[in-house]
Amino acid sequence: MPKDTLRITEIFYSLQGEGKTVGLPTTFIRLTGCPLRCGYCDTEYAFYGGETRSIDEIVQQVKELGAHYINVTGGEPLAQKRVHELMKTLCDAGYHVSLETSGALDVSGVDPRVIKVLDVKTPASGEMAKNRHENYDCLTKQDQVKYVICDRDDFQWSKQHLQEYALSDKCEVLFSPVQGELKASDLANWVLTDKLPVRFQIQLHKYLWGDEPGK
């Protein structure tokens, strides 16, 4: 690919379904490709295909969609090195930019203005071995760590993991149930019973639109 292009699965305007800006109108830039294969993945359509787009073309479409909040996601966006230039360009243009990443790839080069959301892989994901613990040293107070939890064993592991790495001292920690596998009320009760310093969340977009692409 030319040096100023990326492989894009979709760019769309919707409501942010998770994290600090949940419910806010947001433009999502979904990059193609991912080196992980999590058992609960809901964006397998982003593993392959996509369309080659220049950074200028991407930024122009973002401008036309009109949202102040931009979410760079995938797939695994850091699998494409030119994503760093895209995020810098968006920050320079005054957008509020967040990055959804598996945490399996190095985040040290991410522009400090970008809010990093690290999706820690639990045992039930099947990709726990891919967690890059060095990334935790790159977290700041603006960032977030997310645990997507499938069952009680995942919860116990997540609780121990966040305590071992003192992640709630570094940034905000999110606990989410895998829709269709774990009742949201069960996870909420476990968080309350154990008095964990985390934000419980459900994926708003799934309750509104399910797994529909572009939503």
* C-alpha dist (Å) from residue 214 to 2, 10, 28, 47, 76: 26, 7, 9, 15, 17
Q: Is 150 annotated as a binding residue?
A: no
Q: Is 91 annotated as a binding residue?
A: no
Pairing of the two strands 25-31 and 5-15: antiparallel
- What per-residue confidence (pLDDT) applies to 212? 74
- What per-residue confidence (pLDDT) applies to 46? 86
Q: Is 171 annotated as a binding residue?
A: no
Q: Is 42 annotated as a binding residue?
A: yes
Q: Is 38 annotated as a binding residue?
A: yes
Q: What is the pLDDT of residues 44-101, one digit of tens each?
A: 888 989 999 999 999 999 999 999 999 999 989 999 999 999 999 999 999 999 999 9
Average pLDDT over residues 124-152: 96
- E runs forming strands in 61-190: 69-73, 96-101, 115-120, 144-149, 172-177
Q: Is 73 annotated as a binding residue?
A: yes
Q: Is 40 annotated as a binding residue?
A: yes
**CB atoms closer than 10 angstroms to residue 95:** 20
Q: Is 138 annotated as a binding residue?
A: no
Q: Is 15 annotated as a binding residue?
A: yes
Tell me how far apart the alpha carbons of residues 189 and 185 are, in angstroms, rounded to a whole number. 6
Q: What is the pTM of this model?
A: 0.94
> Token digits for 62?
């973002």
